[in-house]
Amino acid sequence: MLTNSFGLQANAKNYISINSLDDLSKIENLYDKKLLILGSGTNVILDNYFDGTVIKVQLTDIENHKDYISVGGGVDWAQLIEYCLVNGLYGIENLTHIPGSVGAAPVQNIGAYGVEISSFIKNIECFNLKTKKLETLNNDQCKFGYRNSIFKSKDLVILKVNFVFEKSFQPNLSYPSLSQFLKDKSIDTSSLTPRMLSELIKQFRNSKLPDPEIEPNVGSIFKNPIVSVKDFDKDFLVGHKWDQGDGYTKLSSARLIELIESDLIIPDTLRFYENHSLVLINNGGASFNEVIYLLNQIKSRILKEFNIKLEIEPEIISV
């Protein structure tokens, strides 16, 4: 059974666990053409059977070097957050409470509340599935973008991520809704500590997003589209868009979904989260086909109604 936060029933033909670098020999002699590199399964929609080999990295060491820390791809993201808080390493407090593993974080270039993980990555140690050799890619070679990186090519297995964090604490409170949240709670931002900010971020996320261990989900189901300002009336989606500069704006996919939700055919096994329309919940027993049908409905309806192409954020893994 393949673990995934959406709670879909899924299995694979073969499964390889990388618990040490010696286990890479299992991949060196592997000639299966269908491969899936799976972290904690928090950002995937899995079909019921993967007719290939699943590779799961479970390296869990954290090594402290002079100028950087080296973190195994199998380390839980929450564990890294705690390690940084305890050891005086700062900058990723805003990424608290994001589910998943360290090895999966660079793939999507995870980000939240004005912070992206790529800003702290020195380089990444990986195994190239084509050359069957170890490689170390520097930050530029990773080709990081908005929820994107070179690792989406499926040719590289992330083994370790080497981070450079800040040695002094400067809270990033630039994200409007986060700033408002702190204001509503009467938080004196000048007195914030890293631990306080991390705990407040956890509260903030919990107020908007459901815990996948309680209500199975993969977080945001669509990316927020970035469009040209000239293609839309200036009043379109007022209050639900963010200026990106250079004539572009980012639109709220959640709001777009809300505008067409009444036209959708939604099975009883699925629902949108009451506090955030961009989060799809598996009520129990949802199938891969039901999820895909609903996502395609949304994409089609929004394209027809607003001429906007939505991009699914989690990775779709089909047979």
Catalytic residue (one of 5, 198, 220, 277): 220
H helical segments located in the chain: 25-28, 77-86, 105-108, 176-184, 194-208, 253-260, 288-306
Amino acid at 140: D
- 26 neighbors 58 (Cβ within 8 angstroms): no
205 included as an active-site residue: no
If you search the block for the tokens 């989606």, which residue do you land on?
Answer: 237
- Spot the catalytic one: 147, 205, 253, 301: 147
The pairing of strands 315-317 and 44-46 is parallel
Q: Is 313 one of the annotated active-site residues of the chain?
A: yes
Choice among 82, 215, 258, 313 that is catalytic:
313
Q: CB–CB of 130/208 below 8 Å?
A: no
Q: From CA 51, how far away is CA 35, in angstroms rounded? A: 9
Contacts of 287 (CB under 8 A, 6+ apart): 8, 48, 269
Q: Which two tokens stand for residue 151?
A: 């690792």
Rg (CA), the chain: 20
Give the C-alpha separation, 127 to 73, whole Å.
12
Catalytic (active-site) positions: 147, 220, 313
